[in-house]
Structure 1
Amino acid sequence: MRSVRTVSKTVRRYRTAQLGLPGWYLTAGCLFQAVWNVATDRHPTSGIKDYDVFCFDNHDLSWEAEDAVIKAADAAFAGLPAQVEVRNEARVHLWYEQKFGVACAPYASTEAAIDSFTATACCLGARLERDGQWRVYPNPVLAPRAVYETKTARW
């Protein structure tokens, strides 16, 4: 018989996959921070402020549809000692200019959103599929040296 602790870890491990988010990835700084932490003998979660989960659903671009996904994710991640932020990358072009002062063309996929990261060193996504297999979307370009040095100094 498996212990309650083992079952609990298994349930947590599959929470994002079980949400059924289209084209989702865990992405951005939390991945690089975790690798850097392990490489420097720190706890894997040290210094990670939040976990970004991107998905892509262009069937309903309303705030209400995205908010329903955010609320479902909040319920799924309840009880975890971390902030998990789920966002629909199909909607970014609707609010980006108001927030950052420049227009953003609509993305065609989650991967396209990852490719557009300002800090190209963070152009990475990983997800655990429902069948238990990992899918990794790697950095398609090299980061400029100054960006790399700034990010690694912070991490």
Structure 2
Amino acid sequence: MSFDSDDFLAMARRNPVNVALLARLRALALPQCHLTAGCLFQAVWNLRTGRAADAGVKDYDVFYFDDSDLSWEAEDAAIRRVQAATADLGVTVEVRNQARVHRWYAARFGAAYPALRSARDGIDRYLVACTCVGIDVADGALYVPDSLQDLADGILRINPRHALPDLFRAKAASYQARWPWLQVIAPDAAPA
């Protein structure tokens, strides 16, 4: 099955919350703001299995990058702005300043995490390679560091840019429990 960025964007936009978030986040003008993660790639897998694009989406991830103030207070202010702008949507929106992730990641996940240089660096570090996707809020362009083909085909591989085998296995198993047709490529398997 051929699959390109236009196909992906069309499927992601079939989730009405994604459409609303992109418009509202654009108005907030957070630096390097991206809508990312499950709300995007789950739309593809949901539609492939005949479900609504927004079925089972737990939360909507928003990454931005502002290294001018690395305090929790500055990030909390951005979180509150987004919450105020999206409260009527009835969904959980998780906002994270990617300039601060290295300050708390090790304590939460037990692994070192480098200081990032952009919001896209954060997208590049998802555990499952095909889930490294984001929509740039400023212009609506898709950011994807890898081919979209594994996402379309349901092939889950460890992300070599953030290779944590135990966390990858747990995340892949969680996805496969919801979409049993997904194929997990073991981290120690030879590349295809």
Taking structure 1 as the reference length, the TM-score comes to 0.81
Q: 1:144 to 1:87 in 2, by over 3 A?
A: same
| Structure 1 residue 49: Cα displacement | 0.5
2:117 aligned with 1:93: no
Of residues 50, 62, 76, the one that matches 2:71 is 62
| Structure 1 residue 72: Cα displacement | 0.5
Q: 1:63 to 1:149 in 2, by over 3 A?
A: closer
CA RMSD of aligned residues (A): 2.4
Of residues 75, 82, 101, the one that matches 1:73 is 82
1:141-152 mapped onto 2 (5 Å cutoff): 143-144=156-157, 150=173, 151-152=175-176
2:158 aligned with 1:134: no
Of residues 114, 121, 126, the one that matches 1:105 is 114
The answer (yes or no) to whether the contact 1:30–1:50 under 8 Å persists in 2 is yes
**Mean Cα displacement is larger for which, 105-114 or 36-45?**
36-45
The answer (yes or no) to whether the contact 1:122–1:139 under 8 Å persists in 2 is no
| Structure 1 residue 44: Cα displacement | 1.4
Of residues 42, 56, 59, the one that matches 1:50 is 59
Q: 1:37 to 1:123 in 2, by over 3 A?
A: same
**Distance in 1 separating the partners of 2:137 and 2:115:** 26
Q: Per the alignment, in what secondary structure is the counterpart of residue 97 of structure 1?
A: helix
The answer (yes or no) to whether the contact 2:33–2:137 under 8 Å persists in 1 is no
Higher relative contact order by CA 8 Å / sep ≥ 6: 1 or 2?
1
The answer (yes or no) to whether the contact 1:121–1:139 under 8 Å persists in 2 is no
Query: Structure 2 stretches of 5 or more lacking a match?
Result: 1-18, 151-155, 159-167, 180-192
Query: Percent identity of the aligned residues?
Result: 45
| Structure 1 residue 149: Cα displacement | 6.6
**Distance in 1 separating the partners of 2:113 and 2:55:** 32
Taking structure 2 as the reference length, the TM-score comes to 0.66
The answer (yes or no) to whether the contact 2:22–2:35 under 8 Å persists in 1 is no
| Structure 1 residue 140: Cα displacement | 2.6
Report the number of matched residues. 143
**Distance in 2 separating the partners of 1:33 and 1:12:** 16
2:141 aligned with 1:117: no
Of residues 46, 61, 74, the one that matches 1:37 is 46
Q: 1:11 to 1:134 in 2, by over 3 A?
A: closer
